[in-house]
């Protein structure tokens, strides 16, 4: 973030606070419940969003050295990520090209070659077929180049590995990611590491979980026993960054800016900054660490979340681990306050009480996010 932007964002919220005003959208919006419940809608989102746009597959630090690899589900596809001897990243479908068995079953490790457990066809970490037992007689004319591992488009930038879950996609990474990469560089994403993480499944639509993070209207209510008292009531702002979004959620200490020279204003001291990396990842910047919420939508009504606490890699040292673990537990407990109400709201949809959810003028970020979702959707049958 440019220094001028940092000051302008603080100035805007400080001004609103002083005038007892709020960051308001023009009008109230209605969000039809089918967005969150319909199987057809979910299938369209999978086709046009999760299987079309660059997704975050991993943080760079998860593949730390030449030969590192990891396997993961990406938009329902089995992903094998590797780092070769030149430290370049490769993304493949984790599927044997002989008769389709799963190639690698470990979650992560260090390997230069991947040998299929079925008949031992073997590929190197650049996806080239290197070994076929009894090839001469069994596969006399085998063109090894036609049997490379199936590659997915991938890019490593700003400390993150981005992959498109579609081997035929030709993504314009630069255009799609440009605005968010600059922000990642600003908060030091390339030099961070994961200090703790865990995975949970929430019975709620993926969009409902995103919506829960981008307004401060609920802070003093849903978080009254945890973070609520530290934040200003119902005050937040947001800006679109291409398909992505940056929200600023000011703390009580915003009030102290009036006695402070602008040169000393620091946005992370006086607010939490939330990056919504469209579609599935959120990064919540606190003063000295970052909470990363990564969603894996399972169905219209169910989403798996990987919750991670990230910190500068120099501080992710063995003697700091109990500190980060405690920190992670506090973050997870606070986020669970959100996810529990989200799951209750998803169950509420099923009751038929509402035909739409209502977004007040404080909740304009929710409409903006849904507009972005809809801008990617083609025809739904
Ligand atoms: S299925 Fe993989 S080697 Fe045969
Ligand atoms: Fe919340």
DSSP-assigned states of every residue in 236-280: -EEEEETTEEEEEEEBGGGGGGGGS-GGG--HHHHEEEEEEETTT
Ligand 1 atom with least separation from CA of 101:
1
Tell me, yes or no, if the pTM score tops 0.75.
yes
pLDDT in tens, 74-132: 999 999 999 999 999 999 999 999 999 999 999 999 999 999 999 999 999 999 999 99
Task: Answer yes or no: is the C-beta of 122 below 6 A from any ligand 1 atom.
Answer: no
Ligand 1 atom with least separation from CA of 116:
2
pLDDT in tens, 45-62: 999 999 999 999 999 999
pLDDT in tens, 290-332: 999 999 999 999 999 999 999 999 999 999 999 999 999 999 9
Q: Kindly state the DSSP code that residue 380 receives in the 8-state scheme.
A: -
Residue 291 and residue 196 in contact, taking contact as beta carbons nearer than 8 Å: no
Q: Where are the domains of the chain?
A: 3-53+188-376, 55-170
**Residue-wise burial string across 327-357, b where 16 or more C-beta atoms lie within 10 A, e elsewhere:** bbeebbebbebbbebbbebbeebeeeeeeeb
Confidence of residue 23 (pLDDT cuts 50, 70, 90): confident
Q: Is the dihedral of CA 38, 44, 47, 53 positive or negative?
A: negative
The confidence score (pLDDT) of residue 332 equals: 97
Q: Which two tokens stand for residue 290?
A: 């970052």
Q: In angstroms, what is the span from residue 13 Cα to ligand 2's centroid?
A: 19
Task: Answer yes or no: is the C-beta of 121 below 6 A from any ligand 1 atom.
Answer: yes
Residues 6+ apart with CB under 8 A from 37: 205, 300, 301, 349, 350
Q: Which of 99, 102, 148 has most ligand 1 atoms within 8 Å of its beta carbon, as the pocket-test mutant?
A: 99
The confidence score (pLDDT) of residue 11 equals: 95
**How far apart (Å, rounded) are the C-alpha atoms in residues 136 and 35?**
55
pLDDT score of 381 more than 90: no
Ligand 1 atom with least separation from CA of 121:
3
**What topology does CATH give the domain 3-53+188-376?**
Naphthalene 1,2-dioxygenase Alpha Subunit; Chain A, domain 1 (3.90.380)
Ligand 1 atom with least separation from CA of 97:
2
**How far apart (Å, rounded) are the C-alpha atoms in residues 59 and 281?**
12
Confidence of residue 380 (pLDDT cuts 50, 70, 90): low
Q: In angstroms, what is the span from residue 338 Cα to ligand 2's centroid?
A: 5
pLDDT in tens, 239-281: 999 999 999 999 999 999 999 999 999 999 999 999 999 999 9
The confidence score (pLDDT) of residue 379 equals: 64
Percent of the chain with pLDDT over 90: 96
Which superfamily, per CATH, for 55-170?
Answer: Rieske [2Fe-2S] iron-sulphur domain (2.102.10.10)
How much is the average pLDDT of 230-236?
92
């Amino acid at each position: 973030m440019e220094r001028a932007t940092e000051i302008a964002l603080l100035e805007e919220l400080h001004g609103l606070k002083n005038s007892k005003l709020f960051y308001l959208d023009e009008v109230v919006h209605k969000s039809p419940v089918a967005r969150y419940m319909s199987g057809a809608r979910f299938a369209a989102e999978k086709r046009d969003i999760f299987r079309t746009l660059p997704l975050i597959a991993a943080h760079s630090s998860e593949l730390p050295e030449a030969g590192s690899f990891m396997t993961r589900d990406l938009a329902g596809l089995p992903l094998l990520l590797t780092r070769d001897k030149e430290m370049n990243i490769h993304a493949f479908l984790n599927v044997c090209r002989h008769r389709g068995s799963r190639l690698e079953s470990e979650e992560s490790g260090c390997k230069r070659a991947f040998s299929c457990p079925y008949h031992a066809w073997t590929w190197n970490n650049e996806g080239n077929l290197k070994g076929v037992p009894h090839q001469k007689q069994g596969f006399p004319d085998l063109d090894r180049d036609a049997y490379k591992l199936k590659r997915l488009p991938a890019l490593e930038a700003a400390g993150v590995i981005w992959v498109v879950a579609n081997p035929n996609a030709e993504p314009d990474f630069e255009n799609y990611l440009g605005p968010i990469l600059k922000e990642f560089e600003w908060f030091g994403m390339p030099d961070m590491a994961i200090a703790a993480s865990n995975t949970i499944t929430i019975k709620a639509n993926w969009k409902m979980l995103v919506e829960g993070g981008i307004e401060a209207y609920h802070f003093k209510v849903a978080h009254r026993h945890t973070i609520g008292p530290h934040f200003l009531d119902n005050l937040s702002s947001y800006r679109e960054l291409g398909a992505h979004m940056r929200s600023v959620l000011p703390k009580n200490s915003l009030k102290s800016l009036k006695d402070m020279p602008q040169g000393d204003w620091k946005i992370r001291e006086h607010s939490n900054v939330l990056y919504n990396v469209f579609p599935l990842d959120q990064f919540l910047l606190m003063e000295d660490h970052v909470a990363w919420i990564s969603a894996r939508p399972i169905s219209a009504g169910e989403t798996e979340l990987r919750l991670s606490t990230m910190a500068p890699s120099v501080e992710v040292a063995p003697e700091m681990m109990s500190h980060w673990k405690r920190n992670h537990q506090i973050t997870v407990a606070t986020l669970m306050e959100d996810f529990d109400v989200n799951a209750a709201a998803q169950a509420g949809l099923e009751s038929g009480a509402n035909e739409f959810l209502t977004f007040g003028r404080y909740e304009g970020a929710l409409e903006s996010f849904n507009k972005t979702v809809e801008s990617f959707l083609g025809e739904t049958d």
